[in-house]
Amino acid sequence: MKFYGNNQIFFILVLIFAIIVATSLVAGCITISKNVDAEPETAGMETPDAHEILVPDPGGAAATQRETKSTVVAAEPFLPGDDKKLGLAFPPDLEIGSSDVLGTLFEEKRSIVLENYAYVVDVASPPLVLWFDVEPRYDDTRESFFIVTVRDRNSGKVAAQGGYGQVHSGSKEQEITLYRAGTYHINIEARQIHVDFKILTADAPLLEETVMPSGQATPNPYEMWEYF
């Protein structure tokens, strides 16, 4: 009987241990299930798209550029007809397009027989306005023309093109406006024409207009062309 009693006690202890182990395993499974089913506490938080590319805010760079005055220097021109590259998409992010509110960075007057020349303009404070007023020698726009091609100097791509004659406008006074800071190569092809050409920017000084004295005739730019 004593042997039977010892076996009974041992069996009871083993049964209690098995119940404790089983209870622990069930509790662990319930805890894991709750952690899996629970939603993460991210209410009100925006999760970035895995394919989204974060671009730094360029405002600081733009502000730094505007601290430097715009400049213009002579440059090597492109060969005529070398304008087959794709144009740049420059959205008009500034609502400024009138030369009346800008300063004159550069101005020249030329009587041109046949020329291809260029300038490089570093625009620190946009917009950049290229203003010109032409007086053609011939009515035929194939004989007298003034063509301006603006390229991004770094990429070489055409940013804007316009002018008088050939396939362009027949208006003698025109403006070409670019609304972003940057370095631009301005190429000019011209023939048999007199031009008053200005480069204007927001940081250039304002200059007083030169007014001809009353009764004084405007000089004819073609008087010396009779010798050609």
Cβ atoms within 10 Å, residue 150:
22
pLDDT in tens, 121-146: 999 999 999 999 999 999 999 999 99
Who has greater pLDDT, 39 or 7? 7
Query: pTM for the whole thing?
Result: 0.55
Number of domains in the chain: 2
DSSP state letters, 124-187: SSSPEEEEEEEEESSS-TTTSEEEEEEEETTT--EEEEEEESTTSB--SEEEEEE-S-EEEEEE
Residue 51 in any domain: the answer is no
Residue 222 in any domain: the answer is no
How many helices (H) and strands (E) are present in the chain, helices listed first? Answer: 2, 7
At residue 92, does pLDDT exceed 70?
Answer: no
At residue 63, does pLDDT exceed 90?
Answer: no
At residue 46, does pLDDT exceed 70?
Answer: no
According to the model, what pLDDT value does residue 80 have? 63
Together in a domain, 17 and 88: no
Range of the domain at 12: 1-32
Together in a domain, 92 and 199: yes
Residue 60 in any domain: the answer is no
Together in a domain, 109 and 160: yes
Residue 47 in any domain: the answer is no
Together in a domain, 159 and 98: yes
Together in a domain, 26 and 127: no
pLDDT in tens, 142-196: 999 999 999 999 999 999 999 999 989 999 999 999 999 999 999 999 999 999 9
